Chains A and B, each alone.
Chain A
Amino acid sequence: MEILLQLFLSFAKVGLFCIGGGYASMPLIQNEVVDGHHWITMHEFVDIFTISQMTPGPIGINAATFVGAKIAGIMGAIAATAGFVFPSVIIMLLMAYLYFKYGDLGIIRGVLNGLRPAVVALIASAGVGIMTLAFWDKADLPISLAETNIRGVVIFLISMGLIYSGKMGTIKVLLLSGVLGLVIFSLTSGL
């Protein structure tokens, strides 16, 4: 029981102090679970980081779940995740309240007017990152056109066509692209 409470508090601390997304939370998590409480080793932590990146879901939540599960099973996973999101709930409710109440004020409006284009840029940046990862297996430039994953591009184009045709919802397209990956990549693996 005590370990669950500690997990909750440790991850609440991480949730409160991590600013800037999943990757920013990693050093904080390390500080709590590896250096602070010695719950897991550095080697295990690196594994957790890798798995969190390759499994679906937000990276920070993945890491919290995994650490919690390793230390105290399913209850540990729940405690760590609950702790992680607890500060978010409080802060977001407060922000939502302020936004709806004062969102029309000049200063707040200015901030949001400045941030909207920035969000578009950040989404585009993540988009380009995942595109190079999908087609060239690396997140950064430079890329070599000769090494383009043609089969990946084919799956991308099929997905794009389905999205623009408007006949298939987002999630169905995602699932289909996974199945296509399984089929196309396995069938052509010898080529």
Chain B
Amino acid sequence: MESNNEEKIQVVTTENEHIEPVKLWTLFKSTFMISAFTVGGGFVLIPLMKAKFVDEYHWISDKDSLNLVAIAQSSPGVVAVNASIILGYRMAGMAGMFTALFATVLPPLIMLTAISYFYEAFASNYYVKMLLKGMQCGVTAVILKVVIDLLVKQFKKKLVLPLLIMIGSFIGAYVFDINIMYIILVDAIVGVVLMQSAKYD
């Protein structure tokens, strides 16, 4: 499974000049749609990107995408923007980076500029609320599928330490609302001290 993904990545990333225009257009289209229809912060957009790029198109491997998201999360800036920049770069070089970046910021740019002229009417519109509510339920389904897939993969590896990190981080983030930066910091330290061995790759 993993080696299969590795091969595909090499096909699309070794020679940036050979990228088909269709692929950049597909990247633009899917990123644009995700940004345009997803209500919520970075960790709502990221699983959707994963569902699209990893599970649907196989442009990038599971592990690579998680590594890059971890980097995006640990760096300054908007997480979703960081993630689209670094994932776009990974998938199709500089052209991919700018494609993904524009596709992420364009929908809010259009929508919010329009809304800024009549935002009270928008915020209280009944049909807008119903539409957004329905989408919330759909997004829940997409994220849950991504989470289940990732969890199954982790459990299959039968390694204790990653599971402990996962459970601990979840409790820290969800139950105790600890700032994500502290969680990242602690997990990074645990990783450096205890997880340099190849079996955790």
Contact = CB atoms under 8 A, between A and B. Distances in A.
A68 to B, nearest CB: 8
A186 interface: yes
Contact of B76 (A19, A110, A123): A19
The SS class assigned to the B binding surface is: helix
Given A111-B188, A121-B173, A54 B81 contact: no
Contact of B138 (A88, A127, A173): A173
A155 to B, nearest CB: 4
Nearest to B179: A20
A95 B71 contact: yes
Contacts of A65: 108-109, 112-113, 116
Interface size class of B (residues with CB under 8 A): 35 or more
B192 A84 contact: no
Contacts of B39: 53-56
Among B39, B136, B141, residue most surrounded by chain A Cβ atoms (within 10 Å): B141
Nearest to A155: B137
16 contacts: A22-B78, A57-B35, A61-B109, A65-B113, A109-B196, A115-B184, A119-B66, A127-B143, A130-B139, A130-B140, A171-B33, A174-B142, A178-B37, A181-B136, A182-B127, A185-B134
Interface of A: 15-23, 25, 47, 50-62, 65-66, 69-70, 73-74, 77-78, 81, 84-85, 87-89, 91-93, 95-96, 99, 103, 106-107, 109-131, 133-135, 141, 152-153, 155-157, 159-160, 163-164, 169-171, 173-182, 184-186
Interface of B: 30, 33-48, 51-52, 56, 63, 66-82, 85-86, 89-90, 97, 101, 104-105, 107-109, 111-113, 115-116, 119, 122-123, 126-127, 130-147, 150-151, 154, 162-163, 165-170, 173-175, 179-181, 183-184, 187-196, 200-201
